[in-house]
Amino acid sequence: MTKHIYIYSPSSAIRDKAAFRRGVKRLQALGHEVEIDPDALSVHQRFAGDDATRLAAISRAAASGANIALIARGGYGLTRILDQIPYKAVAKAIQKGTEFVGCSDFTALQNALVAKTGAVTWSGPAVGEDFGAEAGADDIMEACFDDLVSGQGEGTGWRMPARDADLKFKPVEDAVLWGGNLCVLTSLLGTPYFPVVDKGVLFIEDTNEHPYRIERMLDQLKMAGVLGKQKAIVFGQFTGIRKVPGYDRGFGLDTVVDRLRASLKKVPVLTGLPFGHVPTKVLLPVGAKVAMAAEGRDVFLVWGHRHAHSHDHDHAHSH
Amino acid sequence: MTKHIYIYSPSSAIRDKAAFRRGVKRLQALGHEVEIDPDALSVHQRFAGDDATRLAAISRAAASGANIALIARGGYGLTRILDQIPYKAVAKAIQKGTEFVGCSDFTALQNALVAKTGAVTWSGPAVGEDFGAEAGADDIMEACFDDLVSGQGEGTGWRMPARDADLKFKPVEDAVLWGGNLCVLTSLLGTPYFPVVDKGVLFIEDTNEHPYRIERMLDQLKMAGVLGKQKAIVFGQFTGIRKVPGYDRGFGLDTVVDRLRASLKKVPVLTGLPFGHVPTKVLLPVGAKVAMAAEGRDVFLVWGHRHAHSHDHDHAHSH
């Protein structure tokens, strides 16, 4: 099913052009019509063009009429323009059927969009790191992406690690899914771009952080009253953990999770979600209502059928 | 002038015991009576004892009746116990004449104390890193410390870097001085431990951070409405900047400062304050009213005479 995919760069400059080209080719090989934003490869300092350039790219993505607006890569660049993002234009594009997909720094736009409009975007792959991965694009990621583009996906699932085999939680219903990169999400706290989500399901991931920094961010969210009012917290993948041998002395991510569980008490803390700075990542609808339950170690996260609008729109493109 | 100095460990475990011993000896050589908290050298994971142990140490420091309660070292440990710190006991001890001195992670306690009680503490040295520095304690730091213990200090000053030679600002009066480590301060935002200071002078420093992370924290404080309502922002020392050559392409701390100035417009952004993770650090009263003005590149920060209480108290100890 051919889809129109619009690729743009809202954050860091693309340094690995080979990976970007591989990603574009892979999307074309999957049968899609790929449109590349004129500033996708722009460079200004560490950014993919200056702020005005990247804001214009976001506007073009919103105006593209594409089925999917996909970020070229993450990095850094969105938090500094949060007060200028065309939220209404993006929300209107989403209503008309364009699905916005991205991760990492994109967390800022996604959660700010929930705060400002309630519109749903997808935490998922980027062109370079994922579709252009040197080892080839991950099968599960591509299957989840295909679920989105075909309009067939209604949820996802994963097996919790053995360590959490005994975790029990009351099934969650009618909860807003939100979150993404922990560091980027936390950097919205206290600003008008941090969404007010009560009784939601908050998922988090991060990369290259010390366990103590992960704990400090979680404590900030907890003391700000955010964590205690969620129905569940879901840990994705925390990669490149910067533990200092002989210094941290047993203080690691497991310690952080255990302490969080002890202090939150009533809010279940799940682990093992296949999302983060890893090849195998599922797609997750940020801002959507979800249900979540487990059978033993197997967790099911369901958002049901979405996007009546996008189906009409899809047909217009795919016939 | 002999003073009673109480040394305790509210944050990370002391790993460099030699530096700690050198620091204690140096304080004794300066003529002070040094009392070491029984858990100053305790270790639990990466902390100087578990949370209860460190909370008890803070309480003992508050009950010590010392002239100075000085942290053994910074690191990490205070943000996770912000909801349990005996703020009233610390404020009462300060009222009775004990001056609390520290830096880095201590920023959390200092600013939370302003939020909860308005009590004044001192950003300044730690035992190990500063008094126990292998190269010997820094002269200026010791002179500033002596100003505090002798009750003679009424302010400090520094020369702004050549880059900011043309910076002009309206003299500041009657402003609350606050701040410290940028990362620790930002980790309080959104919680009840972040002080509400309007028309203050906010000083910041940090170590081992990428410029983009410094910018992201400043943007968070700005978008939370904190920076725009200050009378001035003062940059201390930012050490160990983790710039990535060939990647950041001219995006460095200067870029961050220039952009902040452009966006804040009415709030002057000063630089060069000798405070941070550096040997030469002045002592700064967090929570105190200050005045600030410049003559050319020379900045004067004045808090006037403080601590009538502590003088009586000092005499009780020094005679």
- pLDDT single digits (tens) B208-225: 999 999 999 999 999 999
**What pLDDT is stored for residue B153 in this prediction?**
87
Closest listed residue to residue B176, CA positions, set B194, B157, B196: B196
Chain A residues whose CB is inside 8 A of the B248 CB are 45-46
Rounded CA separation A69/A85 (Å): 15
Contact A249 B45 (CB under 8 A): yes
pLDDT digits (tens, 9 = 90+) for A40-52: 999 999 999 999 9
For residue A224, list chain B residues with Cβ-Cβ distance below 8 A. Answer: 190-191
DSSP SS3 for A60: helix
Do B122 and B94 contact (CB within 8 A), yes or no? no
Q: What is the mean pLDDT of residues A79-88?
A: 98
CA A217/CA A105 separation, integer angstroms: 16
| Number of cross-chain residue pairs from A and B with Cβ atoms under 8 Å apart | 86
Of A205, A209, A215, A313, which is the active-site residue? A205
Q: What is the pLDDT of residue B309?
A: 46
User: Nearest by CB to B187, which of A216, A248, A251?
Assistant: A216
DSSP codes, A171-228:
PEEEEEEEEEEHHHHHTTTTSTTS---SS-EEEEEEES--HHHHHHHHHHHHHTTSGG
Q: What is the mean pLDDT of residues B295-302?
A: 96
CA angle A126–B223–A95, rounded 5-degree value = 45
CB contact under 8 A, A215 and B83: no
Average pLDDT estimate for A2-30: 97
Query: Which of these is catalytic: B205, B215, B310, B313?
Result: B205
Residue A2 structure tokens: 């051919």
- For residue A277, indicate whether it is catalytic: yes
Q: Which of B104, B123, B129, B310 is catalytic?
A: B104
Lowest-pLDDT range of A131-145, A230-244, B16-30: A230-244
What pLDDT is attached to residue A5? 98
Chain A hits for B74, CB-CB cut-off 8 Å, are none
> B79: distance to nearest CA of chain A, Å?
7
Using a CB-CB distance cutoff of 8 angstroms, which residues of chain B are in contact with residue A188?
220
Residue A316 has pLDDT above 50, yes or no: no
pLDDT band at A314 (very low <50, low <70, confident <90, very high): very low
Owner of token pair 């392409």? B249
Contact residues of B toward A, CB < 8 A: 15, 43, 45-47, 76, 79-80, 82-83, 187-194, 212, 215-217, 219-221, 223-224, 226, 247-251, 255
Annotated catalytic, A104? yes
Token reading at A173: 């219903």
Cα dihedral sign, B254-B285-B63-B92: negative
Note whether A191 contacts B80, CB cutoff 8 Å: no
- Asked if A76 and B212 come within 8 Å (Cβ–Cβ), the reply is yes
Query: To the nearest 10°, the Cα dihedral for A193, A197, A203, A208?
Result: 30
pLDDT-derived band at B3 (thresholds 50, 70, 90) equals: very high
Q: Which of A11, A12, A104, A310 is catalytic?
A: A104
Section A285-308 average pLDDT: 90
Indicate the helix (H) or strand (E) that contains A136: none
Inter-chain touch B190–A193, beta carbons under 8 Å: no
B101-142: pLDDT as tens digits? 999 999 999 999 999 999 999 999 999 999 999 999 999 999
Contact A189 B220 (CB under 8 A): yes
Domains and CATH numbers, chain B: 4-153+307-318 (3.40.50.10740), 155-302 (3.50.30.60)
Judge contact between A264 and A222, C-beta under 8 A. Answer: yes
- The answer, yes or no, to whether residue B303 has pLDDT greater than 90, is yes
Of A46, A189, A223, the CB nearest to B82: A223
Nearby residues of B214 by Cβ (< 8 Å), 6 or more positions away? B182, B206, B238, B253, B256
- Please check the confidence at residue B314 and state whether its pLDDT lies above 50: no
- How big is the CA angle at B244 (ends A193 and A189), to the nearest 5 degrees? 15
A190 Cα to chain B: minimum distance (Å): 5
**Chain B residues with CB inside 8 Å of A82's CB?**
219, 223
Q: What is the largest CA-CA distance in chain B?
A: 62
Among the partner-chain residues B223, B250, B251, the one whose CB lies closest to the CB of A191 is B223
Average confidence (pLDDT) over A28-37: 98
Contact B264, B227 (CB under 8 A): yes
Q: CA-CA distance, B32 to B137, in Å (whole number)? A: 15
CB contact under 8 A, A223 and B191: yes
CB nearest B46 (choices: A216, A219, A248) = A248
Cβ within 8 Å, pair A45-B249: yes
CB-CB neighbors (< 8 A) of B85 in chain A? none
Give me the pLDDT at residue B208, please: 93
Percentage of chain B exceeding pLDDT 90 = 90
Measure Cα distances from B308 to A67, B98, B231, B295 in Å: 71, 12, 28, 30
Paired residues of A36 in beta bridges: A7
Quick one: which H or E segment has residue A91?
A: helix A87-95
- Strands A155-159, A298-302: pairing kind: antiparallel
Asked if the model's pLDDT at residue A307 lies above 60, the reply is no
